[in-house]
Structure 1
Amino acid sequence: MSESRVMLVDGMALLFRGYYANAYGGYIRKTKDGLPTNAVYGFVKYLLDACRTFNPTHMICCWDMGSTTFRTDKFDGYKANRPAAPAELIPQFELVKEVVSGLNIRNVGLAGYEADDCIGTLSRQLGELMDVYVLTGDHDMLQLVDERVKVVIMKKGPSNYAVYDAAKLLEEKQLTAKQFIDLKGLVGDTSDNYPGVKGIGEKTATKLLVEYESIDGILANLDLLPKSVKTKIEADLDMLHLCRELATITCQVPLSCTPEECIWRPEQAKIAELFERLEFNSLVKEVSCTITAVS
């Protein structure tokens, strides 16, 4: 399987990106029957572009399954700052999974866990057998980078990606994948609504991790830190440990997928029929070109 590679897709990241990229001036793409499709349309555009760029032989799309997870059990405020989804997006949550299935891509999600955790678990399982590409816009996923796992961060514009392996991570961020967990423990995450250590920013946190390697290393050397930094950490010690837990992607979700179960075998006729029903006529030719390019 040396030439095999699986692409693990962060479904919500692509769907939300697709929604906002295709809601110009308040215009929402809909079918003639009034079904909103702009997010799904954008999702498919992004997915096809990534397929042409990275040529996966296997594909899985992972999803969040509700707002309640083991992290909300640990911290009530986790993601509590997020606004409700736009009304036009809500019916597209199920529609996009139907489209993913229509593309012969497996949908994966498990109640109580986030898509990140499913991706982390599958990256470890399948990384023993093939190269793994994680497609996302979420820098939290950088903690998953290892010898066989690359994290592909989607940037603005088509075919614009930052592909992180261990070497690029160290060169650009000065940190290892594991240290990214401790970075989030120290600085928190405003989008996920956990605070980290009050008054510790990314620059200071990175400097501490470069010097002391981990949160445990920092705590073992508190007396060597500047007084102001030591005081801040000591004042938020419990929160520091909690935030490190919240930031950690679990790679032990009770799910599994064999390579045989996630081979990507797109059926052009089936996809064309689905796209015509959704009035994605401009994508029929694009998907045909993509299938030809990756086959």
Structure 2
Amino acid sequence: MNERNNILLVDGMALLFRGFFATSFRGNFMKTSKGIPTNGIYQFMRYFLDAVEKFEPTHVICCWDMGSKTFRTEMCNSYKANRSEPPEELIPQFDLIKEVIEAFSLPNIGVENYEADDCIGTLARQYATEHEVIILTGDQDILQLVDDGIRVAIMKKGQGNYDVFEKDSFLDKKGLLPKQIIDLKGLMGDSSDNYPGVKGIGEKTALKLLQEYETIDSLLENIDNLPKGAQTKIQTNLDMLHLSRDLAAIRCDVPVDCSLDQAKWAYDKAKIEAKFEELEFNNLIKLVK
């Protein structure tokens, strides 16, 4: 019997953006003496090291988006089109943070045409057959992945606060099962990803409909039993309902794999100290035990 490892999958984009905006709202970008902005990386590392201390993984993998074009933007050209270009102070930090992850001798994973979420979903399903997986993110969409052996830790306001979701208590916490999150998004849409779902149906109504009918398919089979208002809204937006559900579903069949040998949480402290010194993160050095 193989020993069950504890694998931490990190949503790199979620941590970097969160770290950047958490520290830049006062216009404080924190730069090295050479003028390179580092605030996103600094805060990323604080989140990252805190999570490692809390969840005690044996292995860690960091997943990234590989640009804004993916199969979802091909399905729907307005997908995420509401997002502005990243601030110029953040742009040099995208490559730099990957160098920091490499200094920990950890893999950076990303696949062209897919989002980090899809890589996370694929790896989580691969590993959960024999190991425990915990996903670190700020993104509620990833809750659809909660399953046997897969927990999701959603970062909350303030350092070191997490809302941890696991299969057994999920229904009590969310009022739905993990796989119903996809249908919930199909109905209510997602304003941050810029797809509308069914116009006029918000989270409350979507939740109620799914608690009663379980899936969008079953809902459509019973459409005559719905209140007139909901019937009309759904029939008018049927194409968008199906498209929104497809956009919301995380793909778990991405051509990606990562051998656990590459992802062991066992670093060379001198290598990290050198990287932190280069970035002038003197007070982070003491956090690396």
What TM-score comes out, normalization by structure 2 length? 0.98
Aligned counterpart, 1:158: 159
Deviation, 1:27, is 1.4
Determine the structure 2 residue equivalent to 1:184. Answer: 185
Does residue 211 (structure 1) correspond to residue 222 (structure 2)? The answer is: no
1:117 aligned partner? 118
Shift of 1:258: 2.4
Q: Is the 8 A contact 2:106 2:262 kept in 1?
A: no
Pairwise CA distance, 1:24: 4.7
Distance 2:10 2:224 in 1: 44
2:141 corresponding residue in structure 1: 140
Letter in 1 for 2:209: L
Structure 1 vs Structure 2 CA RMSD = 0.9
Cα pair 2:4 2:130 within 8 Å, conserved: no
Moved more, 264-273 or 239-248: 264-273
Render the CA deviation track for 1:218-251: whole Å, top value 9, x for unaligned: 0010011001101100000011000000000000
> In the alignment, residue 276 of structure 2 is paired with which amino acid?
F
Q: Distance in 1 between matches of 2:149 and 2:3?
A: 11
1:12 and 1:132 map into 2 onto residues whose CA distance is 19
Supply the distance in 2 between the matched residues of 1:261 and 1:209 (Cα, whole angstroms). 41
Matched AA of 2:140: H
> In the TM superposition, what are the counterparts of 1:3-14 in structure 2 within 5 Å?
3-14=4-15
> Residue in 2 aligned with 1:285?
286
Secondary structure at the aligned position of 2:144 is classed as: helix
Aligned counterparts of 1:113 and 1:36: Cα–Cα separation in 2: 28
Provide the C-alpha distance between the structure 2 equivalents of 1:2 and 1:231, rounded to a whole number of angstroms: 54
User: What's the secondary structure of 2:287's corresponding residue?
Assistant: helix
Secondary structure of the 2:69 match is: coil
- In 1, the alpha carbon distance for the partners of 2:144 and 2:108 equals 23
Shift of 1:261: 2.6
Instruction: Report the Cα distance in structure 1 between the residues aligned to 2:248 and 2:25, rounded to whole angstroms.
Output: 33
| Structure 1 stretches of at least 4 aligned residues deviating more than 3 Å after TM superposition | none
Q: What TM-score results when the alignment is normalised by the length of structure 1?
A: 0.96
CA distance in 1, matches of 2:170, 2:275: 39
2:96 corresponds to 1:128 = no
Quote the offset at 1:2 in angstroms. 4.2
Q: How far apart, in 1, do the equivalents of 2:25 and 2:227 lie?
A: 49
CA distance in 2, matches of 1:171, 1:2: 31
User: Percent of pairs identical after alignment?
Assistant: 57
Secondary structure of 2:179's aligned partner? helix
The structural deviation recorded for 1:259 is: 2.1
Kindly indicate whether the alpha-carbon contact (under 8 Å) linking 1:22 and 1:42 is maintained by their aligned counterparts in 2.
Answer: yes
In structure 2, runs of 5+ residues without a counterpart are none
- Any idea what the Cα deviations from partners look like across 1:166-210, whole Å, max 9, x if unmatched? 233211111011100000000000000000000101111111111
The equivalent of 1:106 in structure 2 is 107
Measured after TM superposition, the shift of residue 269 of structure 1 is 1.0
Alpha-carbon shift at residue 7 of structure 1 (Å): 0.4
Query: Secondary structure of the residue that 2:153 maps to in structure 1?
Result: strand
- Answer yes or no: is 1:94 the counterpart of 2:95: yes
Within-5 A mapping of 1:1-295: 1-288=2-289
Contact 1:36-1:88 within 8 A present in 2 as well: yes
Distance 1:88 1:266 in 2: 29
Shift of the alpha carbon at 1:3?
4.5
